[in-house]
């Protein structure tokens, strides 16, 4: 799990070609993140910028070693208060240790699957049929545990939205930002965001049965809660 955490953070940043956000060029963003970090009681995270093809942002790392990656498209399309809402949401993820929780959840799912496989092998006749049965049982067990992990992830998105609204004083800026992000994702056909980063990003696009495996709740429900 430790290796997965370290490699996952590096891979997420590398996959979008993120670069350090210049303080001279993005002075206002750095200043606002400092203020938000102080209000949340966390260290200011490393800020990076990337061209993702869509307006989006994601956070990786933990308290004291967090990184927030923002797409250039997001900076261009959002107003200052909307961008503040997105930044507050990502900082809330770092404050709540959500990335670490997801890694732990995935690790627990793998461990449970291995235990289930060994249970089949140790209670069976240890022949070829038991070997293939153990593989199937392990896969099914891991899938069931991951459904629970995904459900927790969707809940944590609501929590991060709520914390962001509290720290900036209103949920409307983030709600407006989500609307713009949704429209931007619908218009764009090309994106540099891979499946691993999509799990970290502020916006997910799954619909129908795929929502069971989604890390994000429907954006319409998030907007409704922010304005509720």
Given 73, 82, 84, 90, which residue is catalytic? 90
79: left (phi over 0), alpha (psi -120 to 50) or beta: beta
Cα–Cα distance for residue pair 100/147, rounded to 1 Å? 17
Task: Take residue 141 and report the two structure tokens written for it.
Answer: 């067990």
Cα–Cα distance for residue pair 29/187, rounded to 1 Å? 26
Query: Parallel, antiparallel, or unpaired: how do β-strands 67-71 and 46-50 relate?
Result: parallel
Q: Residue 199's pLDDT is what?
A: 52
Q: Residue 208's pLDDT is what?
A: 60
Whether residue 39 lies in the annotated active site: no
CB 36 within 8 A of CB 174: no
Q: Residue 201's pLDDT is what?
A: 64
Q: Residue 113's pLDDT is what?
A: 93
Cα–Cα distance for residue pair 59/72, rounded to 1 Å? 15
Helices (H), the chain: 2-15, 27-40, 72-77, 80-95, 98-123, 128-168, 172-187, 195-198, 219-226
Q: Residue 145's pLDDT is what?
A: 93
Q: List the chain domain ranges.
A: 2-100+147-226
Predicted TM-score (pTM) of this structure: 0.85
Cα–Cα distance for residue pair 109/120, rounded to 1 Å? 17
CATH number for the region 2-100+147-226 comes to 3.30.2010.10
What average pLDDT values come out for the chain (228 residues) when binned by 10 residues?
A: 75 90 96 96 96 90 90 95 97 92 87 92 82 92 92 94 96 95 69 52 61 85 93
Rg, the chain, Cα only:
19
């Amino acid at each position: 799990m430790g290796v997965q955490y370290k490699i996952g953070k590096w891979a997420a940043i590398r996959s979008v070609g993120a670069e350090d956000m210049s303080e001279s060029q993005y002075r206002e963003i750095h200043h606002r993140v400092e203020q938000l970090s102080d209000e949340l009681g966390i260290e200011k995270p490393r800020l990076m910028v990337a061209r993702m093809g869509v307006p989006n942002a994601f956070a990786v790392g933990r308290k004291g070693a967090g990184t927030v990656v923002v797409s250039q498209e997001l900076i261009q399309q959002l107003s200052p208060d909307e961008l503040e809402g997105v930044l507050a949401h990502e900082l809330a993820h770092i404050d709540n240790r959500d990335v670490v929780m997801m890694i732990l959840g995935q690790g627990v799912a793998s461990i449970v699957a291995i235990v289930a496989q060994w249970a089949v092998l140790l209670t069976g006749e240890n022949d070829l049929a038991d070997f293939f049965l153990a593989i199937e049982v392990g896969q099914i067990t891991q899938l069931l545990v991951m459904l629970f992990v995904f459900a927790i992830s969707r809940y944590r998105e609501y929590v991060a939205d709520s914390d962001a609204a509290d720290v900036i004083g209103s949920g409307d800026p983030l709600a407006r930002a989500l609307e713009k992000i949704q429209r931007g994702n619908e218009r764009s056909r090309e994106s540099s965001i891979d499946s691993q980063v999509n799990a970290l990003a502020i916006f997910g696009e799954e619909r129908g049965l795929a929502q069971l495996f989604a890390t994000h709740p429907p954006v319409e429900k998030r907007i409704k809660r922010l304005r509720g």
